Structure 1
């Protein structure tokens, strides 16, 4: 009775205490489970963010590599285009023909003087007549050398600006496309993830109250919808692909039309700086570099310096060189695309319009002009290193100085070389810059330009600019 009375007296307290302990324990267990799940989700989120960052970094690096490989393919095309107006090899061949003609003439005179047989004299005479039949024989040797001087320098300046501009345009195009492709894929993944992961309570309630649908009817309906969506998605994908290919094809303008403005400026300024020099005139490497630097500086002033009072309708010169005016865009597309692709663009060119508008803004930006100037400056440094090394190898004469100590103390910059030697070295430098064929991927000039920090900074800015 005592025990029963004790239990009855404390029963409510015991039950309340037990319920409280059970509640605290269960609440703690649930809280611990929720905290562990939250921590797991946070860890998963951090891991996903790190993965996304690495993926963005890898894709960015791959895009810059793709741009360099694209340049390996485009530079040989530029080389073929330049040959039509700036065929320096033809002038060199004519000079070699003149040299061969003089040698044959001397041999012929020696043969006549030595009283050789008429058969020998006839063969020499025929060879001489063949040499005389070349078209450039009408020009004198001095005229050919002067032509080589001007054309080699004009071609050098044209190559410097054309390759630099082509690299800038290629980087802009590929980074804009890569960012667009990444953004589309990221949005798609986010939408799919959100739609495939409903809330826990929502899915639990739906699983209770919803009746299972007819399996066969549901399968047929889903299959029909997926087929329709697949066809629509394929059409959208095809249209987007054609728009992107059309966008990339606009490099045709620079390769076939835009570079002519570089040539025109170079012709005027090279004539101003080097026109009065004869092939036999001598100057040091430093003097040659100063003259060439003035040419490039004047071209920069014409192209890269934005006027203070520029109207809205007035376009930046570089933009007109890299991209055609809107009234010429259709002409470029007709040169580069097949009829089916053109028809597709007639139906929908929204993507192409967006890409061109963004590229136009990038090309005219101060950042792009600074990068282009940096590329030109680096190309100048490459040129001077190549020319200095080349003239030193080709020059057979040694500097004459009575004072042996002054000869030992003199630097290479004090040694003077004939202008003709600089002309030949400029031709060789152009050949080095425009390497093609199996050696195109060993183009040290392209690799040097591709590695300047300013170009990578601009590419990163364009690639990460999701505001567009």
Structure 2
């Protein structure tokens, strides 16, 4: 039997060697493939864990943005409400209504009425000087103080005050819309840059513990002072930049709203067109090109003002890391993407503002109920009823819009400016922070390559 097996092996030796080689190759290939699959699974698990880590960090970063903006808004609100003080104008207007009327005093015995009242003064000039008539001198009387024309306060009419209320109500609310949009975007970009730098530093520390070249670029450690100085840049918008924004918006508002009569009745659609005309005017005046000057202290004069106001020393602020972060921030602000997102934020908040103002427009009156048919004529025929013809015509006409007098809208427009900055909860801020455009810009900055490092 053994001889038979050996003979079979000698006879099929080549085939057996080939078969063994194939089997061995399959075994080792399978083992290698399994090892490769295990490595791929491990790499995939690490990649998922890294993505989850980035996603968690990004979500936390967005929550930090909302909290930071809410803490900064009161500083902006206090200055804006003080500079554009619509309430002071309303108080001035009420003072005119409640001011007592000055009546002429009663005549003093022994004098005629023309002497007792001369141009609003209690006594005439001759009596004050004690000049007597024939038959004796009259005792002198104390003279009432008569202010000179230069000392008299310039009193404005009600119409002039209402015109100021009209302009400032529109301007203040729009300044709140634009400044809150810019503050939201600025903080999101700042914290996204900080978050990205912090994440890269954590990766470097995990694997090396030292600064290393990551993908050919040096990763510099972000110190707490660099981070603090970088985040302090929002001070410029809150204390200087918004005033430049106020001047631009006030000019556009005067141009578009100044010619609007206080007694004019407008519809909600026309109010939206009015806001749109102001936005268009701002775009034509180059607002997008001035955003870097509004958001950052650019130029030696502005930098000096910024440092002096915050008691900072240039040598301690402008470190290589801070300069790199500032360059990244400026690149984002000057990019077309930033201008696009800013425009979308303005449209979003304006739509929310118009939705809130919709409550000031009453619903159109319902169509009157159909009347009873007219009685027949003498000939027994039905009288022609024009109501049916009118209804048929109205079916093809535009439905009538409710209209409100402009002066009645001003208090509500002014109040919405308060809501934009001070609302609790602040639905305007939540709306713009949660917009897809702002989130996309934040994600793009958070995951961008650091080309300036």
Report the TM-score, using the length of structure 2 for normalisation: 0.69
- Give the corresponding residue for 2:449: 466
Higher relative contact order, structure no. (Cα contacts within 8 Å, ≥ 6 residues apart): 1
**How far, CA to CA, are the matches of 1:161 and 1:351 in structure 2?**
30
**How far, CA to CA, are the matches of 2:200 and 2:345 in structure 1?**
30
**How far, CA to CA, are the matches of 2:90 and 2:358 in structure 1?**
20
Aligned counterpart in structure 1 of residue 339 of structure 2, from 351, 369, 373: 369
- Give the corresponding residue for 1:329: 303
Distance 1:423 1:47, change over 3 A: same
CA contact (8 A) 1:319 1:360 kept: yes
| Unmatched tracts of structure 1, length 5 or more | 1-5, 7-12, 14-23, 106-134, 196-235, 306-315
- Give the corresponding residue for 1:271: 254
- Give the corresponding residue for 1:85: 83
- Give the corresponding residue for 1:350: 320
Distance 1:403 1:285, change over 3 A: farther
| Match status 1:421 vs 2:408 | yes
Deviates most, 325-334 or 357-366: 325-334
| Unmatched tracts of structure 2, length 5 or more | 4-9, 11-21, 102-151, 213-219, 371-386
**How far, CA to CA, are the matches of 1:138 and 1:400 in structure 2?**
46
Q: In the TM superposition, what is the alpha-carbon distance from 1:367 to its structure 2 partner?
A: 0.5
Aligned counterpart in structure 1 of residue 59 of structure 2, from 51, 61, 65: 61
Q: In the TM superposition, what is the alpha-carbon distance from 1:38 to its structure 2 partner?
A: 5.2
- Give the corresponding residue for 1:216: none
Aligned counterpart in structure 2 of residue 382 of structure 1, from 322, 331, 352: 352
SS of the equivalent of 2:223 reads helix
**How far, CA to CA, are the matches of 1:412 and 1:275 in structure 2?**
29
| Match status 1:318 vs 2:318 | no
CA contact (8 A) 2:361 2:403 kept: no
- Give the corresponding residue for 1:312: none
| Match status 1:177 vs 2:147 | no
User: More helix per residue: 1 or 2?
Assistant: 1
Output one character per residue of 1:187-217: Cα deviation in whole Å (capped at 9) or x when no partner.
2223369x9xxxxxxxxxxxxxxxxxxxxxx
**How far, CA to CA, are the matches of 1:337 and 1:181 in structure 2?**
27
**How far, CA to CA, are the matches of 1:61 and 1:181 in structure 2?**
15
Aligned counterpart in structure 2 of residue 146 of structure 1, from 154, 163, 180: 163
CA contact (8 A) 1:244 1:351 kept: no
Distance 1:29 1:364, change over 3 A: same
Corresponding residue pairs, total = 365
Report the TM-score, using the length of structure 1 for normalisation: 0.67
CA contact (8 A) 1:391 1:421 kept: no
1:152-167 equivalent positions in 2, closer than 5 A: 152-167=169-184
- Give the corresponding residue for 1:257: 240
1:11-410 equivalent positions in 2, closer than 5 A: 39-99=37-97, 101=98, 138-191=155-208, 240-304=223-287, 316-327=289-300, 328-336=302-310, 344-345=316-317, 349-392=319-362
